[in-house]
Amino acid sequence: MGEELEGALRRAIEREKKARQYAEGLVEERTEALRLAYEKMRIGEEQEFFDVLSRMPCAVLLAQNSGEVALANPAAVELLGFALESELIGRNWLSMIVDNEIDPLSQGVQEDAAVLMRKANGDFSAVHIIIGSSAFLGSPARIIILHDVSEQRRLHQQLRYQATHDGLTGLPNRHRLLEKLGQYIASARVHGAGLSVFFIDLDKFKFINDSMGHAAGDVVLCEVAKRLQNLPLAGGVAARLGGDEFVVAVPTSNALERRQMAQYLLEAMLLPIRLERIDQIMGGSIGAAQYPEHGSDAEILLKRADIAMYHAKESGGSTVCYFTEHMQEELDARNQLEIRLRHAINHDELVLFYQPQVDLSTGMLVSVEALVRWQSPDYGLLFPGAFIALAEEVGLIRDIGAWVMVAACKQILRWHQEGLGWVRVAVNVSPLDLVNDEIVKRVADTLASHGIPPECLELEITESLSISDPEMALDIISRIKALGVALAIDDFGVGYSNLGYLKRFPAERLKIDQSFVRGLSQNAHDKAIVATIIQLARSLSMQALAEGVETEEEARILLELGAHLIQGYWISKAVPSEELVVMLRKMCVLDTRQLQAPTHPPKVLVIDDHPMMLDVIQNILSTLPLEVQYMGSAEVALEYLADNPFSAIICDYQLPGENGISFLAKVRILQPSAVRILITASADLAVLREAINIARVEHFLQKPLDPTQLIALMSTLRA
Q: What pLDDT, on the 0 to 100 scale, is given for residue 108?
A: 42
Distance between CA atoms of residues 432 and 467, nearest Å? 12
**DSSP per position, 428-452:** EE-GGGGGSTHHHHHHHHHHHHHT-
d(CA 537, CA 470): 20
Element (H, E) at 605: strand 603-607
Q: Collect the ranges in the chain with pLDDT lower than 50.
A: 45, 107-111, 465-467
Determine the Cα–Cα distance for residues 378 and 337; give it in Å rounded to an integer: 10
pLDDT value at residue 111: 46
Sign of CA dihedral 573, 576, 581, 582: negative
Q: CA 543, CA 302: separation in Å to the nearest integer? A: 54
- For the chain, state the CA radius of gyration: 43
First to last CA, the chain: 73
Containing H/E element for 369? strand 365-376
**CB neighbour burial string for 111-123, b if at least 16 within 10 angstroms, e if fewer:** eebbbbbbeeeee
What does the angle CA 365 – CA 584 – CA 358 come to, to the nearest 5 degrees? 10
Measured over the CA atoms of residue 100, residue 106, residue 107 and residue 113, the dihedral's sign is positive
Q: How many residues appear in the chain? A: 719
Q: What is the pTM of this model?
A: 0.60
Helix (H) / strand (E) containing 402: helix 397-417
Judge contact between 537 and 544, C-beta under 8 A: yes
Closest CA to 427 of 449, 456, 389: 456
pLDDT confidence of residue 48? 60
The three-class DSSP label of residue 201 is strand
